[in-house]
Amino acid sequence: MKVGIVGIGFMGMIHYLTYQKVRGAQVAAICETIPKRLRGDWRDIKGNFGPQGTMMDLSGVSTYDNVDALLADESIDVVDITLPPGLHAPIAVKALQAGKHVFCEKPMSLTERDCKKMVAAAEKSGRLLMIGHVLPFFPEYAKAYELIQSGKYGQLLGGSFKRVISDPAWLPDYYKPDRVGGPMLDLHIHDAHYIRLLFGMPTGLTSQGRMRGDVVEYWNSLFRFSNEELSVSATSGVIRQQGRSFTHGFEIHLEKATLAYEFAVIGDQPTLMLPLTVFDDKGKATNPKIGDGDPLNAFEAELKAVKAGLASGNPSPILSCDLARDAITLCHKQTRAVQTGRPVRIL
């Protein structure tokens, strides 16, 4: 599987490094408009986890500063899009029309309308379109999903989800609704997707929070479902202090167990606040074996799923456009609820 990565920022770098661990996959080309990154100087790339950018050896990798040139490269099987979200839809459509399979980093796009355009282009071209929601591949979230699906602990009763970061000051377009979409579409989109995966599509929601310009900065949401006994909530957004750059976690309730987990980066140090713990109905608290928790392992699992999907023609449902599009819908509904101060109907 020969891959062309379009957009070399933090996520493009993570994908580039991870493909090197995937047997049978090769990054054959990259496309970027910043000249020094085409020369392998990625030292100014940073994110809220993983390695700092460094000098990269790009020998054997074709480099392009124009996406049309990359799409004309007949050796490329799949285009991996890691551009700012506002560019996902037009580049994905163009790549599909050029006969390439597409793996697009989350969020699928910034609007439901653009999601539909992407799906239509995939259907017309006969090529696969997969969306990179990596959270279900993180070991704690993957194990929770496995335990829920097994039925071992009975039916889902609900859950609470948290994802909060400090202000990403290094991203100048972060709060622009037509470029990145703010924490709703960049950050909470992970939990919106996971909530949709676990519980199905909510019928409505209530959200309260504070705005920063045209996007929501921080908020709390309560989701409603056709099963009125489900209680599902989420807290997400940005705090204005830099001492805790990232935190996420969950508490998921089932009939016979509660699953809990929380992780944070405090003062630049990764801190496991609560390892994945199963509190069962017999009074025991156990920690399932899940591996070392390295986030790069989650991306490896995700990209292996991309390769398997291309090989079989039947991608993992976790990478499906339906889930990704519904997550976009949930984010926009929450924004509307915060703006209006009123409950919002979905279905």
**Domain boundaries defined on the chain:** 2-134, 135-300+326-345
**Residue whose pair of structure tokens reads 């990154």 in the numeric block:** 37
Check residue 268 and give its pLDDT: 85
pLDDT for position 172:
87
**Reported CATH class of domain 135-300+326-345:** alpha beta
Q: What is the pLDDT of residue 71?
A: 98
Radius of gyration of the chain (CA): 20
pLDDT at residue 171, as a whole number: 84
- Phi first, then psi, for residue 334 (nearest 5°) are -65, -40
Q: What is the pLDDT of residue 48?
A: 67
Q: What is the pLDDT of residue 170?
A: 81
Place of tokens 């990259």: 30
CB 12 within 8 A of CB 30: yes
The model carries a pTM of 0.96
- In CATH terms, the superfamily for domain 2-134 is NAD(P)-binding Rossmann-like Domain (3.40.50.720)
CA distances from 6 to 11, 119, 202, 206, 278 (A): 11, 19, 34, 37, 41
DSSP letters spanning 278-290 = EEETTS-EE----
Residue 216 pairs in a beta bridge with 211
- DSSP annotation of 183 reads H
The yes-or-no answer to whether 2-134 and 135-300+326-345 have a common fold is no
pLDDT tens for each residue of the chain, 347 residues long: 999 999 999 999 999 999 999 999 999 999 999 999 999 999 999 876 778 899 999 999 999 999 999 999 999 999 999 999 999 999 999 999 999 999 999 999 999 999 999 999 999 999 999 999 999 999 999 999 999 999 999 999 999 999 999 999 888 899 999 999 999 999 999 999 999 999 999 999 999 999 999 999 999 999 999 999 999 999 999 999 999 999 999 999 999 999 999 999 999 898 999 999 999 999 999 999 998 777 889 999 999 999 999 999 999 999 999 999 999 999 999 999 999 999 999 98
